[in-house]
Amino acid sequence: MEKQSKKRRLHTEIVRQMLTLATSGFGLVAALAWNNVVQELVKEYITRVLPGPESGIISLLIYAIVVTTLAVTVTLQLSRALQKLKSK
């Protein structure tokens, strides 16, 4: 019996790790796709307002602010959701 239990726990842990890796991989692909979208949007709109060499650094600054704000917002929302689940 003990051997079967250990074997089942091992299989469960392997599947759990595979799920974590797959989720992380798909998350990375999605993040890279959104990264391109945000970069292009910022670049497109900033170069219309500020044509010339100064638009490059301003585009990067706005991009960094947008990505940071998005990362903080998503992290806070997920943390709050986790706390609600833990408290139930």
**CB crowding 26-47: b at 16 or more within 10 Å, else e:** eeeeeeeeeeeeeeeebbeebe
Residue-wise pLDDT tens digits, 31-88: 899 888 888 888 788 778 877 777 778 888 888 898 899 889 988 998 999 898 888 7
Alpha-carbon distances of 12 from 3, 16, 75, rounded to whole Å:
14, 6, 28
Q: Is the pLDDT of residue 4 over 90?
A: no
Q: Is the pLDDT of residue 1 over 70?
A: no
Q: Is the pLDDT of residue 11 over 80?
A: yes
Q: What is the pLDDT of residue 19?
A: 92
